[in-house]
Amino acid sequence: MRDWNVVVSVHENRFTRACQILQRYGQVGQTKYYNVLVMKVEEPVVFAKTLAALVSTVPEVLDVVSRVEPATVTFDFKDAEEFETRARDAALTWLADLAGRSFHVRFHRRGHRQELPSQEEERKLDGLLLEALERAGTPGRIDFEDPDAILAIETVGDRAGLSLWTREDLRRYPFLRLD
């Protein structure tokens, strides 16, 4: 599935059960990556709320899915340069949300191992956002312990999804597990 907007990591030997649970919320597709599914849902934020409601009544869902990451911005890319340009442009759209706040970037990559080292890409975007916030007169700071927000990036092959999650979102959605 090329047009996914959710990435799901599945616990060992739970692939079929994960598909059964998730298919009622959107289209589910397999990937070539071990225990990784992708989904296409109508509204990623609504899906997150719906899944949180399910987890609150059926906590065993978390025994099936390890991590679920809905993406509010998605794009395809052909190489590292295009990824970096498009990720930068998307990240900058959240400047107002990050103004004066603590945050960090978390990058979960599948594919492009050599061209897109996760920690290097995280540092680049952290630095870009810090500089942009400083120029705007609303400095932020990097915090890995208890940030106000986390900018999450997922890639599966040549597609990326980004989303910004607040501390409250991380509590509300136990399946995010970004760090």
Closest listed residue to residue 86, CA positions, set 127, 121, 49: 121
CB 17 within 8 A of CB 65: no
Residue 105 is encoded by which pair of tokens? 């970037």
DSSP 59: G
Tell me how far apart the alpha carbons of residues 172 and 32 are, in angstroms, rounded to a whole number: 30
To 10 degrees, the CA torsion angle through 106, 111, 114, 120? Answer: -10
Provide the percentage of residues in the chain whose pLDDT is more than 90: 94
**To 10 degrees, what angle do helices 80-92 and 118-135 make?**
40
Containing H/E element for 22? helix 15-22
DSSP 53: H
For the chain, what is the mean pLDDT?
96
Give the mean model confidence (pLDDT) for residues 131-135: 98
Question: What CATH code would you report for 73-167?
Answer: 3.30.2130.30
pLDDT, tens digit (0-9, with 9 covering 90-100), for 77-122: 999 999 999 999 999 999 999 999 999 999 999 988 788 889 999 9
pLDDT, tens digit (0-9, with 9 covering 90-100), for 27-86: 999 999 999 999 999 999 999 999 999 999 999 999 999 999 999 999 999 999 999 999
Whether the model clears a pTM of 0.85, i.e. scores above it, the answer is: yes
Q: What is the pLDDT, as a whole number, of residue 112?
A: 81
Which are the contacts of 165, defined by CB distance < 8 A and separation ≥ 6?
149, 150, 152, 173, 176, 178
Q: What is the pLDDT, as a whole number, of residue 161?
A: 98
To 10 degrees, the CA torsion angle through 33, 35, 41, 46? Answer: -130
- Per-residue pLDDT at 1 exceeds 90: no
